[in-house]
Amino acid sequence: LQDKLGRAFRLLSGKGRISEKNIEEAVKQVKLSLLEADVNYKVVKEFINGVTEKSLGEEVLKSFSPDQQFIKIVRDELINMLGERSSPLRLSSQPARIMMVGLQGSGKTTTSAKLATLLRKEGKKPLLVAADVYRPAAIDQLVQLGKQIDIPVFTGDRRNPVVIVKEAMQQAIKNINDVVILDTAGRLHIDDTMMSELKEIAALVKPDEILMVVDAMTGQDAVNSAKAFNEALELSGFVVTKLDGDARGGVILSIRHVTGKPVKFIGVSEKPDGLEVFYPDRVAGRILGLGDVLSLIDKIQANVDEEKAREMEEKFLKNKFDLEDFLDQLREIKKMGSIADILEMIPGAPKDVDLAGSEKSMKRTEAIIHSMTLKERRNPKLLNYSRKQRVARGSGTTIQDVNKLLKSYDQMKDMMKQFNRKGKLRKGIKGFP
Ligand code: GDP
Ligand code: MG
């Protein structure tokens, strides 16, 4: 129990200011996390520099440690950079036109069908257009998908994409389709022929949206192709697919940073309903790969009474910390949820500890302290053998339990002394916390 209490305790007590020294380890971790998530290294460098500059010298909230606060700044900045909120489609023409572009295999055809499904849910009447004429299989694929989701697919002469698109627009007007989704051809690599064909189609249909589909698994390459497409066409946004796989989605951050255009949707399965509106705050944690440390930070912030934390800190400094405070501390910890919940949110925390046992002993601790008189709580030294016997009886425990608790309390007091000496208990995110 002592050990776990110690951990939770440390969570509760921030100290001082953010300095290069006390966030050194956290910076390293964040950098690694972003690189592992496939964020472009230039973007990582810029991002880290910006965030470090922003946080240096910043006063640390009482309930945080410097590196927790740093991570919070990182998270906020990340969300800021990803765009604060979702970016809806802007469909103003009648019929509205959405042009899907991207490299082969990125998910254009699948995403076209998914988007049609999504728009129909919003009450629209979409028409899908198969304009990828270089691969007959691609046309059949869209026709097949259209049948599956019961949405019409226009294929035209299956030869000239510009003609197909022109005829498709007429068809849409005739059939009162209010949104046309163009599935265009991609290549394995960017080439001039593809780009000029796409430009020609864009000039013809004047799309409301040109969405580039990017495969999240392609990592660094995605950034280069996004840049090239954005320079050749007036992209309105991106769809990042295959986020249901291992990819952590660093691509999202990179393309947003490099092109300045928003990610509007993410693909999360192969199925027609596997498309979601992109919400920046939901992927920040995933990109950082810090487990749910971020939500833990929110939880601490929401639950710890600032005033109480300050009071407690003063007591630390004066080395006054009686069993009442010990109990207070326990209550604070309980407010944050069970120890099991908290441990679960901390990456790298031991999973094999006896959680049920420690919950139980926490309750026991509470019962024991409740059975003491106020005087005894203030001055535990009063507890001689007969008093301990009374407390044990009153709390339904044994003398050994009472002794164990007093030992935990002593250890925590020792910890406080260390705290006073060092000014802070821990540095770096290692073994967090
Ligand atoms: P296109 O060449 O750009 O038209 O790509 P396709 O639409 O044919 O997709 C290529 C492959 O990626 C297909 O096997 C799709 O099922 C798959 N795919 C597309 N989007 C997703 C996604 O979000 N998640 C998963 N798991 N697979 C996807
Ligand atoms: Mg295709």
Per-residue DSSP letters for 324-375? HHHHHHHHHHHHT--HHHHHHTSTT--S-S-HHHHHHHHHHHHHHHHTS-HH
pLDDT for position 312: 64
190 or 264: which leads in pLDDT: 264
pLDDT for position 346: 52
pLDDT for position 1: 37
Contact 229, 103 (CB under 8 A): no
Query: Lowest-confidence range among 125-134, 185-194, 260-269, 351-360?
Result: 351-360
What pLDDT band is residue 344 in, cutting at 50, 70 and 90? low
pLDDT at 13 over 50: no
Query: Lowest-confidence range among 181-190, 195-204, 288-297, 322-331?
Result: 288-297
57-84: average pLDDT: 78
184-191: average pLDDT: 89
pLDDT for position 339: 56
- 3-state class of 277 per DSSP? strand
- Does residue 20's CB lie within 6 angstroms of at least one atom of ligand 1? no
pLDDT for position 37: 81
Please tell me whether 186 is known to bind a ligand. yes
Distance in Å, CA 212 to ligand 2 centroid? 13
Please state the atom number of ligand 1 nearest to the C-alpha of residue 103. Answer: 3
How far is residue 345's CA from residue 66's CA, in Å, rounded to a whole number?
Answer: 19
Q: Which of 103, 106, 110 to mutate to test the pocket of ligand 1 (most atoms within 8 A of CB)?
A: 110
pLDDT for position 135: 84
CB burial of 147-159 (b: ≥16 within 10 Å; e: otherwise) equals eebebbbbbbeee
pLDDT at 307 over 50: yes
pLDDT for position 174: 96
Task: Find out whether the peptide bond into 95 is cis, omega within 30 degrees of 0.
Answer: yes
pLDDT at 84 over 60: yes
Residue type, 273: D
For the chain, give every domain's residue range: 1-13+304-433, 17-59+64-85+280-302, 96-278
- Does residue 254's CB lie within 6 angstroms of at least one atom of ligand 1? no
426 or 165: which leads in pLDDT: 165
Please tell me whether 253 is known to bind a ligand. no
What pLDDT band is residue 163 in, cutting at 50, 70 and 90? very high
Question: Which residues contact residue 86 at a Cβ distance below 8 angstroms, ignoring those fewer than 6 apart?
Answer: 264, 277, 278, 279, 280
Distance in Å, CA 142 to ligand 1 centroid? 12
Question: Which residues contact residue 286 at a Cβ distance below 8 angstroms, ignoring those fewer than 6 apart?
Answer: 37, 248, 249
- Does residue 112's CB lie within 6 angstroms of at least one atom of ligand 1? no
- Does residue 237's CB lie within 6 angstroms of at least one atom of ligand 1? no
Tell the residue nearest (CA) to atom 13 of ligand 1: 107
pLDDT for position 392: 94
- Does residue 218's CB lie within 6 angstroms of at least one atom of ligand 1? no
420 or 373: which leads in pLDDT: 373
- Does residue 108's CB lie within 6 angstroms of at least one atom of ligand 1? yes
What pLDDT band is residue 11 in, cutting at 50, 70 and 90? very low
pLDDT for position 427: 35
- The closest of 163, 168, 159, 166 to 112, measured between CA atoms, is 168
- Does residue 274's CB lie within 6 angstroms of at least one atom of ligand 1? yes
Tell me the longest C-alpha to C-alpha distance in the chain: 98
Where do runs of H (alpha helix) occur along 260-305? 280-288, 293-303
Beta strands (DSSP E) in 95-251 are: 96-101, 126-131, 153-154, 179-184, 209-215, 237-241
Q: Which ligand is nearest to the CA of 270?
A: 1
| Interface ipTM above 0.85 | yes
Please tell me whether 329 is known to bind a ligand. no
Tell the residue nearest (CA) to atom 6 of ligand 1: 107
Q: Hunting for tokens 């069993």 — which residue is that?
A: 323
Q: What percent of the chain has pLDDT over 90?
A: 42
Q: Which fold has domain 96-278?
A: Rossmann fold (3.40.50)
392 or 306: which leads in pLDDT: 392
pLDDT for position 10: 47
- Does residue 244's CB lie within 6 angstroms of at least one atom of ligand 1? yes
Distance in Å, CA 158 to ligand 2 centroid? 14
Distance in Å, CA 9 to ligand 2 centroid? 55
Please tell me whether 249 is known to bind a ligand. no
Contact 295, 345 (CB under 8 A): yes
Which stretch of DSSP H or E encloses residue 276? strand 275-277
Q: What percent of the chain has pLDDT over 70?
A: 77
Distance in Å, CA 182 to ligand 1 centroid? 16
Q: Which ligand is nearest to the CA of 101?
A: 1
- Residue 422 DSSP symbol: H
- Does residue 114's CB lie within 6 angstroms of at least one atom of ligand 1? no
Do 1-13+304-433 and 96-278 come out as alike in CATH topology? no
How far is residue 422's CA from residue 271's CA, in Å, rounded to a whole number?
Answer: 56
- Does residue 167's CB lie within 6 angstroms of at least one atom of ligand 1? no
Q: What is the mean pLDDT of the chain?
A: 81
How far is residue 11's CA from residue 62's CA, in Å, rounded to a whole number?
Answer: 10
Start-to-end Cα distance in the chain: 16
What pLDDT band is residue 359 in, cutting at 50, 70 and 90? low
- The closest of 264, 261, 260, 262 to 277, measured between CA atoms, is 264
Q: Which of 144, 225, 241, 263 to mutate to test the pocket of ligand 1 (most atoms within 8 A of CB)?
A: 241
What pLDDT band is residue 86 in, cutting at 50, 70 and 90? confident
How far is residue 44's CA from residue 83's CA, in Å, rounded to a whole number?
Answer: 17
Q: Which ligand is nearest to the CA of 246?
A: 1
- 1-13+304-433: CATH architecture: Orthogonal Bundle (1.10)
- Which residues have beta carbons under 5 A from ligand 2 (an ion)? 108-109, 138
Please tell me whether 254 is known to bind a ligand. no
Query: Lowest-confidence range among 121-125, 236-240, 336-340?
Result: 336-340
How far is residue 29's CA from residue 34's CA, in Å, rounded to a whole number?
Answer: 9
What pLDDT band is residue 206 in, cutting at 50, 70 and 90? very high
105 or 5: which leads in pLDDT: 105
The model's pLDDT over 394-412, given as tens digits with 9 standing for 90+, comes to 999 999 999 988 887 887 6
Query: Lowest-confidence range among 22-31, 252-261, 336-345, 388-397?
Result: 336-345
Please state the atom number of ligand 1 nearest to the C-alpha of residue 135. Answer: 2
pLDDT at 111 over 90: yes
- Does residue 109's CB lie within 6 angstroms of at least one atom of ligand 1? yes
